[in-house]
Amino acid sequence: MKKKMPIHTSLFSEAFSGDSSVSAPLTSRASWILPAIGPLDLAMDSNTQPIFIASHNRKLAGLDLKSGRKFLEVEISSGTDQMSFDTDFKTIYCASMRSISVIKKTDDGLEPLGKLAAPPGAHTLSIDSQRQKMSISYIDQTHSKLQRFIP
């Protein structure tokens, strides 16, 4: 059995013959036509392998990487440029400048759960499902800030 290692290690070892000062060329293993116009960010469910794509046209689409099947598209906040996937609760968080769209991955596709208000300028987030925490970073008129939300 092949030893498991971080993805960057295997990509580097594939691309280099030892000289790490050279940029590593990536070798594509597969490609798909995306069901989104102007993709902005991606999030992946590593357990079941769908990938979620946020796009300029305010849509979140899911693509099953095994079959190539597209999930239903759902509307998300305008300007979404950061996503996080909570693997424990099968929930996608899409951050934009003033809100966070929350979408549930179901057996039938994608179900919008609603939007959370966010501080102006907030568009970077991280989800810690084990500790049930969400962190958002943003910049206001004077400082860069990090806020943590705990239910």
Q: Which two tokens stand for residue 96?
A: 């934009």
Inform me whether the pLDDT recorded for 142 exceeds 80: yes
Average pLDDT, the chain: 78
**CA–CA gap between residue 147 and residue 140 (Å, rounded):** 12
Q: Residue 114 — pLDDT band, cuts 50, 70, 90?
A: very high
pTM exceeds 0.95 for this model? no
Cβ 112 vs Cβ 75: under 8 Å: yes
DSSP 3-state assignment of 12? helix
pLDDT in tens, 54-87: 888 888 888 887 887 777 788 888 878 788 888 8
Residue 55 confidence (pLDDT) = 82
